[in-house]
């Protein structure tokens, strides 16, 4: 189970927005966001992606991916197969699905068998849907389905030909006799001066008054033509009943192949998503994560931040960490990058469990049954509860639920209550996180102190401000007039590096950061005197 708060915290949606399957089944699967909790299932998904990666990077282009994508794009959602008689539109959709699936199956036959144990394409149905019309996507109830259709249609066509001849003859007579051309018009509006002439041919035209000076003239069709048209309608009713018989037979055949069609829909969705994921992997230099009992990130990138840095001309520092223990405590100065470290790891972890490759040179991790986040950024509110109240309620709720192994990402726990009790709570939470079997964690805080009781605690200290660089930029800080400029200078002085420490070191840069951001000097001076005394 992935906690919604962790989903939002990780900014994984940013990648989902760049993930574009081609078919409606791929899109539907994308919407469902399947999460993998079993190594075997994940391995299956990864191998499928690797297969498409090999096609994408194959210089010989053994598999014609452009055609494959075109076929996936052309597929539309097919109706749910039931016992009911399908209509023409529904059968068309199924034929279009079957024809394109057949093309994809032909291209990836081995993969269908290897990955999905699918060896029996519904050939019989395809042949039935192509009767008399070939494997085009369009669908017609041809006479090949039922000889009676051929017969009745031949009769209708003969009558239509006869009708056309009669109509053409009529037009010719009107043109010759009345100088009126009805060939592209059902009626004509003529000057009323023509009444005298037209009224002598009332067997040919019907005359009505249009306005004060014009007449509306319509053809009068012969008795023979009317009888002929009635006959066409009678034959059409007969044809319609034959068509219904054919639709029933085709629907029965589709119902018989319903299971295979359903399976094809699922497989196409999986293949489509694997292809789209492989394309993402190529585009963003993503690699296959490895599953083992550790957490190692080599050159891990949070794509949204990397892009943001690129747009703002700032250097982006990829993440490199390794953790064989149950968890780590992150601490360091404000703006030092604690949250970004946790967010990057959460992003890579969620991508892994959602079956994607990851934007990293290497990523080794575990598979967790439950992934949780507790932190101020994504906190829910509850009427009547303070921020702190909400936080402890949320922590308790998440602690009590979820399956093992589980992974907690905790950002600044108890930051909204007094420092003394917050430290006590943070120490205790850290102890419990570490003690609880099957629980893994990343915890960022300012409040854990040396009284914590975790033996061999893994401490990740964010290096923070480069004081030499800061000194060299003092004049620039003084000259900076806008917050944007100040932030840019401050971030340029930050060293986004994790130092692994064996114990907590003194870490007080908050007042300096406040000063650099132009905070009230009187308040700052007084705060410093409090610290010194």
Binding mask 131-160 for another protein (x = CB under 8 A): --x---xxxxx-----------x--xx--x
Complex with another protein: residue 87 or 397, whichever CB lies closer: 87
- Dihedral pair phi/psi, residue 245, rounded to 5°: -60, -45
Binding mask 76-105 for another protein (x = CB under 8 A): x----------xxx--xx------------
b/e per residue 514-527 (b: at least 16 CB within 10 A): ebbeeeeeeeeeeb
Span interacting with another protein, options 230-238, 392-400, 401-409, 502-510, rule CB under 8 A? 230-238
Indicate whether 233 belongs to the interface with another protein (CB under 8 A).
Answer: yes
Complex with another protein: residue 179 or 453, whichever CB lies closer: 179
Nearest distance from residue 138's CB to another protein, in Å?
4
Residue 281 structure tokens:
């992997």
Q: Using an 8 Å Cβ cutoff, are 300 and 344 in contact?
A: yes
Indicate whether 20 belongs to the interface with another protein (CB under 8 A).
Answer: no
Q: Using an 8 Å Cβ cutoff, are 442 and 368 in contact?
A: no
Residue 32 structure tokens:
């469902």
Indicate whether 25 belongs to the interface with another protein (CB under 8 A).
Answer: no
Complex with another protein: residue 1 or 235, whichever CB lies closer: 235
Indicate whether 72 belongs to the interface with another protein (CB under 8 A).
Answer: no
One of 65, 225, 232, 511 touching another protein (CB under 8 A):
232
Complex with another protein: residue 54 or 164, whichever CB lies closer: 164
Distance of CA 357 to the CA centre of its chain: 16
Complex with another protein: residue 139 or 407, whichever CB lies closer: 139
Task: Show the DSSP H helices in 179-222 as ranges.
Answer: 195-198
Complex with another protein: residue 217 or 490, whichever CB lies closer: 217
Complex with another protein: residue 166 or 309, whichever CB lies closer: 166
Site for another protein in 163-192 (CB under 8 A): 164, 179-180, 183-191
One of 1, 194, 309, 512 touching another protein (CB under 8 A):
194
Rounded to 5°, the CA angle 273-276-281 comes to: 120
- Dihedral pair phi/psi, residue 443, rounded to 5°: -130, 120
Task: Show the DSSP H helices in 284-411 as ranges.
Answer: 303-311, 338-353, 387-400
Nearest distance from residue 149's CB to another protein, in Å?
9
Exposed/middle/buried for residue 14 (C-beta within 10 Å: 0-12, 13-18, 19+): middle
DSSP character for 196? H
Nearest distance from residue 211's CB to another protein, in Å?
4
One of 3, 107, 239, 391 touching another protein (CB under 8 A):
239
Complex with another protein: residue 189 or 479, whichever CB lies closer: 189
Nearest distance from residue 186's CB to another protein, in Å?
5
Complex with another protein: residue 137 or 169, whichever CB lies closer: 137
Number of amino acids touching another protein (CB under 8 A): 38
Residues whose CB is less than 8 angstroms from the CB of residue 241 and which lie 6 or more positions away in sequence, other chains included: none
Site for another protein in 195-214 (CB under 8 A): 210-212
Nearest distance from residue 209's CB to another protein, in Å?
11
Residue 24 structure tokens:
């409606």
Residue 41 structure tokens:
């299932």
Complex with another protein: residue 179 or 421, whichever CB lies closer: 179
**Is the bond preceding residue 405 a cis peptide, omega within 30 degrees?**
yes
Integer distance in angstroms from the first to the last C-alpha of the chain?
50
Q: Which residues lie across from 500 on neighbouring strands?
A: 460
Nearest distance from residue 145's CB to another protein, in Å?
13
Complex with another protein: residue 192 or 306, whichever CB lies closer: 192
Span interacting with another protein, options 130-138, 319-327, 379-387, 501-509, rule CB under 8 A? 130-138
Nearest distance from residue 156's CB to another protein, in Å?
7
Gap between the Cα atoms of 451 and 90, Å rounded: 70
Complex with another protein: residue 38 or 208, whichever CB lies closer: 208
Indicate whether 236 belongs to the interface with another protein (CB under 8 A).
Answer: yes
Residues whose CB is less than 8 angstroms from the CB of residue 413 and which lie 6 or more positions away in sequence, other chains included: 374, 375, 391, 395, 422, 425, 426, 429, 443, 445, 447
Residues whose CB is less than 8 angstroms from the CB of residue 415 and which lie 6 or more positions away in sequence, other chains included: 376, 422, 445, 446, 447
Complex with another protein: residue 42 or 93, whichever CB lies closer: 93
Site for another protein in 380-439 (CB under 8 A): none
Nearest distance from residue 192's CB to another protein, in Å?
12
Gap between the Cα atoms of 293 and 301, Å rounded: 21
Nearest distance from residue 96's CB to another protein, in Å?
8
Gap between the Cα atoms of 329 and 458, Å rounded: 6
Smallest CA-to-CA distance from 86 within 249, 240, 231 is with 249
Q: From residue 527, how far is each of 144, 423, 531 by CA, in Å?
A: 93, 21, 6
Q: Tell me which residues touch another protein (CB under 8 A).
A: 76, 87-89, 92-93, 133, 137-141, 153, 156-157, 160, 164, 179-180, 183-191, 194, 210-212, 216, 218, 232-233, 236, 239
């Amino acid at each position: 189970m992935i906690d919604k708060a962790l989903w939002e915290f990780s900014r994984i949606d940013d990648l989902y927005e760049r993930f574009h399957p081609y078919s409606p089944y791929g899109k539907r699967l994308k919407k469902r966001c399947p999460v993998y909790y079993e190594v075997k299932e994940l391995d299956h998904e990864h191998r499928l992606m690797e297969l498409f990666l090999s096609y994408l990077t194959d210089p010989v282009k053994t598999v014609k991916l452009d055609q494959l994508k075109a076929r996936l794009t052309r597929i539309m959602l097919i109706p749910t197969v039931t016992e009911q008689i399908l209509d023409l539109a529904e059968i068309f959709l199924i034929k279009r699905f079957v024809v394109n699936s057949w093309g994809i199956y032909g291209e990836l036959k081995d993969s269908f068998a290897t990955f999905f144990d699918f060896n029996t394409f519904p050939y019989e149905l395809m042949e039935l849907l192509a009767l008399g019309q070939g494997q085009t996507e369009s669908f017609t109830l041809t006479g090949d389905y039922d000889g009676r259709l051929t017969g009745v249609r031949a009769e209708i066509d003969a009558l239509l030909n006869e009708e056309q001849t009669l109509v053409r003859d009529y037009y010719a007579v009107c043109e010759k006799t009345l100088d009126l051309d009805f060939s592209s018009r059902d009626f004509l509006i003529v000057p009323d001066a023509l009444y005298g002439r037209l009224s002598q041919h009332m067997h040919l035209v019907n005359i009505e008054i249009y306005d004060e000076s014009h007449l509306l003239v319509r053809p009068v069709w012969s008795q023979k033509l009317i009888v002929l048209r009635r006959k066409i309608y009678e034959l059409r009713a007969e044809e319609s009943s034959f068509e219904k018989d054919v639709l029933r037979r085709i629907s029965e055949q589709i119902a018989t192949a319903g299971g295979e069609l359903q399976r094809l829909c699922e497989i196409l969705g999986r293949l489509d998503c694997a292809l789209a994921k492989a394309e993402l992997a190529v585009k963003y230099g993503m690699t296959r994560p490895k599953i083992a009992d550790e957490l190692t990130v080599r050159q891990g990138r949070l794509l949204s931040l990397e892009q943001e840095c690129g747009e703002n001309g700032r250097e982006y520092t990829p993440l490199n960490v390794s953790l064989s223990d149950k968890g780590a405590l992150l601490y360091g100065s404000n703006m030092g990058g604690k949250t970004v470290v946790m967010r990057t790891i959460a992003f890579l972890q969620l991508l892994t469990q959602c079956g994607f490759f990851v934007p990293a040179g290497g990523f080794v991790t575990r598979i967790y049954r439950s992934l949780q986040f507790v932190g101020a950024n994504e906190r829910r509110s509850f009427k009547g509860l303070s921020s702190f109240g909400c936080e402890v309620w949320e922590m308790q709720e998440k602690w009590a639920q979820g399956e093992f192994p589980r992974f907690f990402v905790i950002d600044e726990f108890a930051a909204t209550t007094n420092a003394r009790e917050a430290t006590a709570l943070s120490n205790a939470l850290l102890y419990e996180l570490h003690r609880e079997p099957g629980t893994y964690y990343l915890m960022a805080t300012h409040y854990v102190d040396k009284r914590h009781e975790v033996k061999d605690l893994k401490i990740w200290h964010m290096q923070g401000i480069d004081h030499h660089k800061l000194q060299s930029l003092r004049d620039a800080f003084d000259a900076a007039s806008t917050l944007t400029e100040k932030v840019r200078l401050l971030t340029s002085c930050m060293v986004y590096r994790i130092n692994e420490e064996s114990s907590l070191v003194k870490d007080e840069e908050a007042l300096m950061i406040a000063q650099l951001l132009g905070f009230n000097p009187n308040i700052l001076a007084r705060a410093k005197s409090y610290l010194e005394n």
